[in-house]
């Protein structure tokens, strides 16, 4: 049990949790969420009085004592699952996730996940995230999307990385194969609500994103203040077919919402090849492709989406870090067949 004394400085926020989030030393690595839990658990006192209300008023000069318990074991089974590790240090790990792997255990996927694999890899050597010895997941990619993820190994790293993803300063670039050609001269595309042109041949898609009103497994595009704000930038890199009917696109995220690229590209009329949820009834034009290219793309059985670049500032060293991942074998073979 560690005991931390915090003196409230001048002009404090009006409530306890916000004041502590401001004045707790950064080295303590206690996020506001973690502080709120400690308050609710009765671990925060002022002059011997237990403070359990996060909205309690504080004043300059108040001395707040926080009892921070040792991190407890995380109730998820470690599993010996191979991992492709791109980078690892004392604070974080960057992995290249294969398609087909779920990131976090859930009722439908209690095992075989990235978290199960990481717990085995770390062997219990975690300083604790939110009071538990667990990997700190600050962003996710879909089960059938491949590519790069950064995971925190300490509260300090989790707090610092989460801030960057919240402020949209982390770089995330994806490669996607989509139906059609996102052409800036196409009146249909530019006439689609939320779609605008951007420098360098890009299109930008801006909307709210939220759960579909009738299908709770899907996300949907919303406007007029509904849904969570989302922005995707898409740049065509290469087209396939004669006439062109498929495009390799680089998608950069300003925000990171559930299924964001898949929903936004489908909204723009360019759904991802192989997407079972948002692909609709898009059919490939057999006459426009070689027999090999048509067969490969037509048989692709997941959304053709790969998290190819990931950049952020290291939360401990403040070093700028940028990682890249080559296309996985299935996508690389499909593109080779389309080029052939």
Name the residue among 266, 164, 149 with its Cα closest to residue 219: 266
Pull the structure tokens for residue 108: 């439908």
Least confidently predicted of 99-113, 213-227, 237-251, 302-316: 99-113
Residues tagged active-site: 142
The whole model's pTM is what? 0.80
Q: Quote the pLDDT of residue 76.
A: 76
Q: Quote the pLDDT of residue 217.
A: 83
Bond into 127 cis (ω within 30): no
**Average pLDDT estimate for 97-107:** 89
Contact 146, 306 (CB under 8 A): yes
The CA-atom distances, in angstroms, between 319 and each of 92, 174, 312, 313 are: 13, 23, 8, 6
Q: Quote the pLDDT of residue 319.
A: 97
**Average pLDDT estimate for 68-92:** 84
């Amino acid at each position: 049990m560690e005991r931390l004394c915090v003196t409230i400085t001048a002009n404090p926020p009006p409530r306890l949790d916000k004041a502590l989030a401001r004045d707790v030393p950064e080295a303590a690595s206690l996020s506001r969420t973690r502080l709120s839990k400690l308050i609710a658990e009765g671990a925060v006192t002022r002059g011997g009085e237990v403070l359990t209300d996060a909205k309690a008023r504080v004043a300059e000069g108040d001395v707040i004592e926080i009892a921070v318990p040792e991190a407890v074991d995380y109730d998820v089974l470690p599993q010996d699952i191979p991992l492709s590790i791109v980078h690892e240090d004392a604070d974080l790990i960057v992995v290249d996730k294969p398609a087909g792997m779920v990131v976090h255990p859930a009722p439908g996927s209690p095992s075989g996940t990235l978290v199960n694999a990481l717990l085995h890899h770390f062997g219990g050597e975690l300083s604790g995230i939110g009071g538990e010895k667990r990997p700190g997941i600050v962003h996710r990619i879909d089960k059938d999307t491949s590519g790069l993820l950064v995971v925190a190994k300490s509260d300090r790293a989790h707090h610092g990385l989460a801030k960057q993803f919240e402020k949209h300063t982390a770089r995330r670039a994806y490669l996607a194969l989509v139906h059609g050609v996102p052409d800036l001269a196409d009146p249909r595309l530019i006439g689609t609500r939320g779609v605008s042109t951007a420098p360098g041949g890009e299109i930008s898609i801006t909307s709210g994103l939220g759960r579909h009103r009738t299908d709770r497994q899907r996300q949907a595009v919303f406007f007029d203040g509904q849904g969570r704000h989302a922005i995707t930038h898409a740049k065509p890199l290469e087209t396939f077919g004669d006439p062109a009917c498929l495009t390799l696109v680089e998608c950069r995220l300003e925000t990171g919402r559930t299924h964001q690229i898949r929903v936004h590209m489908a909204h723009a009329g360019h759904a991802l090849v192989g997407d079972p949820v948002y692909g609709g009834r898009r059919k490939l034009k057999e006459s426009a492709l070689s027999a090999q290219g048509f067969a490969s793309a037509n048989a692709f059985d997941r959304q053709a989406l790969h998290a190819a670049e990931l950049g952020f500032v290291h939360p401990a060293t403040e070093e700028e870090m940028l990682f890249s991942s080559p296309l996985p074998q299935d996508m690389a073979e499909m593109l080779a067949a389309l080029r052939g």
